[in-house]
């Protein structure tokens, strides 16, 4: 029995080592990129396997030493990746009390991937009424969702409504004025993104982007090329913006992936979760298989008042809510990511590969 247990531990340990190593490859295939997501789970599995093997297994054989060494490397590597999203890491975005922020400087945003087949409309309506965000962004929303959420969206004067039945519908509602609303289909004629400008109560205009690229899974895209290219194209659009910027949506990518890191470096946007927590929004149905897919990034002009993962609305995603304070006079207190020449070249190649993949479809 003990021997069978040790063999099982060895198998799990080997899997955790391979799952750590595969994302280091530059391949965009879905079966490689899928291991970008469960960093915390792989870290926990490797740690458990190391502890159990140290207790039950032998340590003298060469293969035992390789397994122990491989697990140790996997644990350290995964820990380095997830460390920024723990309370032990320094915060990338400074916090400010709402009382000191000034009402005219505030911008609150709620992002909810509603799951198109979900029929718990009242849960979303009640939550949106409770939080009363300045901007409400719904993803996977079709014409049914558009109709059923009117009890709350009727109070939003400004809107961009894109009801689609392909799970990539998008509805943007704003209590603050919008201008230059533009719907783009960057790489796929069925996948919209939105660029607009929202006016704060102080009169300042903020550039706002809403995105929802396809994930690299067999039922959607066999690789991550178009997803990666789409978010980098948005980053390039933002790169030289003269406005404060906010980007929100379901990236179908985790915060610690190479592609999201590339997005941040090119766009120079900050992640308010760094130093505060994971804020895992997916999968709401499986507590042990959760990671952050829904993101809100912003330029250094903003400080954080509040960020919260919200209650279950019957979707496979939890909504996420953020309240920011526009504080341009303090923007130099926050260090923004920056892209060097090699990073810019990588961004160009990522876009070219995504465009080439789109032409094949």
Q: Is residue 360 included in any domain, yes or no?
A: no
Domain match, 314 and 198 both: yes
Domain match, 162 and 295 both: yes
Per the structure, the count of domains in the chain is: 2
- Strands (DSSP E) contained in 163-316 are 170-174, 178-184, 193-199, 205-211, 245-250, 294-298, 302-309
Q: Is residue 47 included in any domain, yes or no?
A: yes
Domain match, 148 and 50 both: no
Each of the 361 residues of the chain gets a pLDDT tens digit; together they read: 678 888 899 999 999 999 999 999 888 999 999 999 999 999 999 999 999 998 887 877 888 899 999 999 999 999 999 999 999 999 999 999 887 888 899 999 999 999 999 999 999 999 999 999 999 999 999 999 999 999 999 999 999 999 999 999 999 999 999 999 999 999 999 999 999 999 999 999 999 999 999 999 988 889 999 999 999 999 999 998 999 999 999 999 999 999 999 999 999 999 999 999 999 999 999 999 999 999 999 999 999 999 999 999 999 999 999 999 998 876 677 888 988 999 999 999 999 999 999 988 7
Q: Are 357 and 227 in contact (CB under 8 A)?
A: no
Q: Is residue 91 included in any domain, yes or no?
A: no
Q: Is residue 72 included in any domain, yes or no?
A: yes
Domain match, 164 and 49 both: no
Q: Is residue 361 included in any domain, yes or no?
A: no
Rounded to whole angstroms, the Cα distance separating 115 from 113 reads: 6
Domain match, 227 and 320 both: yes
Rounded to whole angstroms, the Cα distance separating 22 from 46 reads: 15
Q: Is residue 232 included in any domain, yes or no?
A: yes
Q: Is residue 90 included in any domain, yes or no?
A: no
Domain match, 189 and 70 both: no
Domain match, 70 and 120 both: no
State the alpha helices, DSSP H only, in 57-179. Answer: 62-82, 98-101, 121-131, 143-148, 150-153
Domain match, 103 and 15 both: no
Domain match, 197 and 298 both: yes
Domain match, 29 and 76 both: yes
Please state the separation of Cα 133 from the chain's center in Å. Answer: 19
We report the CATH number of the domain holding residue 232 as 3.60.10.10
* Domain range enclosing 292: 98-355
CB atoms near residue 158 (< 10 Å): 17
Q: Which class for 99: exposed (0-12), middle (13-18), buried (19 or more C-beta within 10 A)?
A: exposed
Rounded to whole angstroms, the Cα distance separating 104 from 91 reads: 25
Q: Is residue 108 included in any domain, yes or no?
A: yes
């Amino acid at each position: 029995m003990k021997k069978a247990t040790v063999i099982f531990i060895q198998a799990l340990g080997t899997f955790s080592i391979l799952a750590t190593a595969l994302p280091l490859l530059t391949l965009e295939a879905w079966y490689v990129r899928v291991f970008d997501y469960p960093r915390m789970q792989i870290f926990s599995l490797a740690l458990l396997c190391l502890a159990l093997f140290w207790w039950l297994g032998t340590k003298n054989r060469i293969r035992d030493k390789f397994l122990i060494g491989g697990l140790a490397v996997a644990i350290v590597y995964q820990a380095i990746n997830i460390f920024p999203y723990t309370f032990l890491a320094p915060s990338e975005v400074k916090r400010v009390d709402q009382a000191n922020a000034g009402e005219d400087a505030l911008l609150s945003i709620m992002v909810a991937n509603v799951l198109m087949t979900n029929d718990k409309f009242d849960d979303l309506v009640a939550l949106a009424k409770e939080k009363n965000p300045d901007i409400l962004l719904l993803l996977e929303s079709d014409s049914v969702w558009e109709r059923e959420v009117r009890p709350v969206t009727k109070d939003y004067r400004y809107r961009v409504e894109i009801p689609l039945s392909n799970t990539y519908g998008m509805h943007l509602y704003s209590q603050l004025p919008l201008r230059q609303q533009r719907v783009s289909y960057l790489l796929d004629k069925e996948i919209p993104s939105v660029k607009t400008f929202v006016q704060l109560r102080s009169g300042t205009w903020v550039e706002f982007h809403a995105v929802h690229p396809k994930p690299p899974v067999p039922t959607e895209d066999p690789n991550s090329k178009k997803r990666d290219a789409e978010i980098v194209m948005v980053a390039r659009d933002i790169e030289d913006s003269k406005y404060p910027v906010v980007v929100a949506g379901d990236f179908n990518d985790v915060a610690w992936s190479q592609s999201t890191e590339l997005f941040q470096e090119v766009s120079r946007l900050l992640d308010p979760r760094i130093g505060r927590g994971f804020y895992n929004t997916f999968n709401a149905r499986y507590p042990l298989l959760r990671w952050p897919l829904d993101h809100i990034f912003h330029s250094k002009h903003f400080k954080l008042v509040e960020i919260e993962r919200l209650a279950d609305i019957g979707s496979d995603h939890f909504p996420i809510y953020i309240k920011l304070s526009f504080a341009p006079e303090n923007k130099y207190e926050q260090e923004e990511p920056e892209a060097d020449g090699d990073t810019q070249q990588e961004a160009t190649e990522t876009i070219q590969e995504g465009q080439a993949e789109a032409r094949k479809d």
